[in-house]
Amino acid sequence: MNFYRNMIAIDAFNISAILDLPARKNIYTSVVLIISMFVTTNIFAAAGDSISNTATINYVIGGVPGTGNASASFLEDRLINFSVSEDNGSAAVPVISDMTDAVMQFTVTNTGNGVQDFLLTAVNTAPNPFGLPADNFDPLTIQVFAESGATPGYQAVEDTAVFIDELVPNVPHVVYVVADLPTQVIDDVSVIALIVQIAEGGVVGTEGLVVNADDNGHISPAGVFSNGSTSVSAGTANTIPDSPLTMETVFNDPAGLSPEDVSTDLVQDIARNGQHADAGAYQVMSPVAIVKTVTVIDPLGGTDPYPGATLRYQLDVVVTGNTAVDNLVISDAIPANTTYTDNSILLNAVAQTDADDAPVDYSRAIDILAKPVVSIEVDLSQGGTVSVAPGVTNVIIFEVTID
Amino acid sequence: MKNIKQNIFKTILISVFTLFTAMNAYAEDGAIRFSNNAFKQVISKAADGTVKYDYVEPGLVLPDDVILYEIVFENISDQEVSNIVVNNPIANNSKYRDSSATGDSTEITFSVDGKNFAAADALTVKDQTGKTWKAKPEDYTAIRWVYKKALKPGEKGKVTYKTTIK
């Protein structure tokens, strides 16, 4: 059956064929309408488009011009393909114990030829894609949200969509896995896989129905998506004969790269199942980052570290993550063969006393009375009354002289 | 459920088309039997490394597939036919493949606007700044074949070209 052939073999004497024409045109029009309804989900992309081509011929016979034309048309079928990648490069996302809303960012790109919705879920998985330490804890809660497009980065108020809506081909879309973490110790690791499932596009703002089977016998496993609100069953394998006049759906999604890149059946994602995944890891780190620098000031105004020269130490202290830290006390030992310079402590350019005299200030030089001073101490939490917010840099400066 | 519905619908659709397979055919003139067929190129590699090209019905067509169009004109009259010109706009969702147009005894020209035709080397496009560039194959919107001979009764001519699906 050569549906796609439109051979013209009708000559001027074939009266019956000419007479038939109007009726046939009507039928053709109504069938085209049915096709149009069928492919409305993909009006912004190539899938389902009729690819139509009409050749024309002009010629002269017996001094009289003649023309003819012939068409060939077929439907472009729907390719399902997409990529999922964790965005923190080749390292775990640093988090802190008891963190809320620990964000792991992913990017989903539709590399098929239709506008599609994508269902999202994140699961605990293993092993650690970045090597050691091994996965040893699970978050208390894991949620997944799609970027709204309003403000880059996860915004709890804005980024509330639980699926990716109407993703056109070749436009990346950011997705956030958002987890609340239990009490853990430094270097504990939790490995998470984001699993993305193809779904129908077509209606803006509405979560599309899952596409859990293609037309070549491939199926998706059952799964729970959209932060628990959408349960889908496994697909039923079916095989639709390829036809130039119907849009077949073809799963062409790749397999998960590594054992931790699982599909919703919790085994390594296989190719052509309408799902794709990538894994990342949370790793518990110290919530406080300190950068220490030293400046040498010699008595002649140079920078030579000889006896009598001053060493000015600067500690830049910043709380990482998104959780404020309580009881943050910074202390630093006075190096050997140096002597603390009395009253040299500065906190954010404000002079501090050496005495243990809170609440005048919350800094002190330990053993300032007995001498030598063995260390300095700055209580950024001011006796437990202040939480130190993340992202703010506190600058501590103190000086010693070389003996 | 969705899939079941789709399947039923597709089955109905196929049936409808089966009934009216010939509906696209329409008469233009009696002297030339003119046909335009599309085939999908399927490349297979044998164990000995030889590559085989097959051209099949475009049942399953996805992006990057290559389509061969074969346009045949046959003189079915009892007189000689002359001044034969075949025009073919490039189909939607399709890019012309470089150097793919063929046709014995034809002069082949291309167009980027559907009006002005020129040899591939002479074809230009303008960018947004008005600068002129040599047209790339994917810029072509139409192909024209001018048949340089007369077609005797019973004789056939054939022209072909290939596109890549976007």
Which chain B residues contact residue A61 at CB under 8 A?
31, 77, 79-82
Q: In sequence order, what are the beta bridge partners of A95?
A: A284
Q: Is the peptide bond before A254 cis (omega within 30 degrees of 0)?
A: no
Which chain B residues contact residue A44 at CB under 8 A?
none
Q: Which residues of chain B fall short of a pLDDT of 70?
A: 1-29
DSSP state of B24: G
- Residue A116 has a pLDDT of 97
B159: left (phi over 0), alpha (psi -120 to 50) or beta: beta
- Residue A8 has a pLDDT of 36
Q: Is the peptide bond before A359 cis (omega within 30 degrees of 0)?
A: yes
- Out of B3, B21, B76, closest to residue A238 by CB: B3
Interface contact flag, A60 B81, Cβ < 8 Å? yes
Q: Which residue, among A20, A37, A53, A247, would best test binding to B if mutated, counting the most B CBs under 10 Å from its CB?
A: A53
Interface contact flag, B166 A46, Cβ < 8 Å? yes
Going from the first residue of chain A to its last (403 residues), give the mean pLDDT of each consecutive group of 10, the final group possibly shorter.
37 33 39 39 72 96 93 96 95 91 97 97 97 96 97 96 97 97 96 98 96 97 98 94 92 97 98 98 93 93 91 94 85 96 96 93 92 95 92 95 95
**Least Cα separation, residue A138 to chain B (angstroms):** 35
Place of tokens 């090597």: A131
- Out of A8, A55, A245, closest to residue B33 by CB: A8
Q: Quick check: A399 and A311 in contact, CB under 8 A?
A: yes
CA distances (Å), B100 to each of A305, B58, B67, B160, B163, in order?
76, 18, 11, 8, 8
3-state secondary structure of B10: helix
| Cα torsion through A159, A162, A164, A166, rounded to 10 | -100
Q: Which residue, among B15, B26, B66, B76, would best test binding to A if mutated, counting the most A CBs under 10 Å from its CB?
A: B26
- Residue A299 has a pLDDT of 87
Interface contact flag, A21 B27, Cβ < 8 Å? yes
- Residue B17 has a pLDDT of 41
- Residue A375 has a pLDDT of 96
Interface contact flag, B17 A245, Cβ < 8 Å? yes
- Out of A27, A68, A75, closest to residue B32 by CB: A68
Which chain A residues contact residue B37 at CB under 8 A?
2, 4-5, 7, 72
CA distances (Å), B94 to each of A369, B41, B69, in order?
86, 14, 12
- Residue A320 has a pLDDT of 80
Q: Which residue, among A15, A42, A73, A74, would best test binding to B if mutated, counting the most B CBs under 10 Å from its CB?
A: A74
Interface contact flag, B85 A58, Cβ < 8 Å? yes
Interface contact flag, B25 A10, Cβ < 8 Å? yes
Length of chain B: 166
- Residue A32 has a pLDDT of 40
Interface contact flag, A59 B71, Cβ < 8 Å? no
Residue A7 CA from chain centroid, whole number? 51
Q: Which residue, among B36, B72, B88, B117, would best test binding to A if mutated, counting the most A CBs under 10 Å from its CB?
A: B36
**Least Cα separation, residue B19 to chain A (angstroms):** 10
Which chain A residues contact residue B73 at CB under 8 A?
57, 59, 68
Q: Quick check: A237 and A216 in contact, CB under 8 A?
A: no
Interface contact flag, A52 B13, Cβ < 8 Å? no
Q: Model-level pTM? A: 0.74
**Least Cα separation, residue B128 to chain A (angstroms):** 24
- Out of B14, B26, B31, closest to residue A243 by CB: B14
3-state SS track over chain A = CCCCCCCECCCCCCHHHHHHHHHHHHHHHHHHHHHHHHCHHHCCCCCCCEEEEEEEEEEEECCEEEEEEEEEEEECCEEECEEEEECCCCCCEEECCCCCCEEEEEEEEECCCCCEEEEEEEEEECCCCCCCCCECCCCCEEEEEECCCCCCCCCCCCCCECEEEEECCCCEEEEEEEEECCCCCCCCEEEEEEEEEEEECCCCCCCCCECCECCECCECCCEEEHHHCEEECCCCCCECCCCCCCCCEEECCCCCCCCCCECCCCCECCCCCCEEEEEEEEEECCCEEEEEEEEEECCCCCCCCCCCCEEEEEEEEEECCCCCECCCEEEEECCCCEEECCCCCEECCEECCCCCCCCCCCEEEECCCCCCCCEEEEECCCCCCCCECECCEEEEEEEEEEC
- Residue A14 has a pLDDT of 33
Q: Is the peptide bond before A127 cis (omega within 30 degrees of 0)?
A: yes
CA distances (Å), B32 to each of A8, A10, A66, A68, B157, in order?
9, 9, 9, 8, 11
Long-range contacts of B128-135 (CB under 8 A, 24+ apart): B135/B110
Which chain A residues contact residue B28 at CB under 8 A?
8, 66-69
- Residue B29 has a pLDDT of 54
What is d(CA B150, CA A146) in angstroms, rounded to the nearest whole number?
65
Interface contact flag, A46 B93, Cβ < 8 Å? yes
What is d(CA A344, CA A295) in angstroms, rounded to the nearest whole number?
14
> Residue A268 corresponds to which tokens in the numbers above?
């390594």
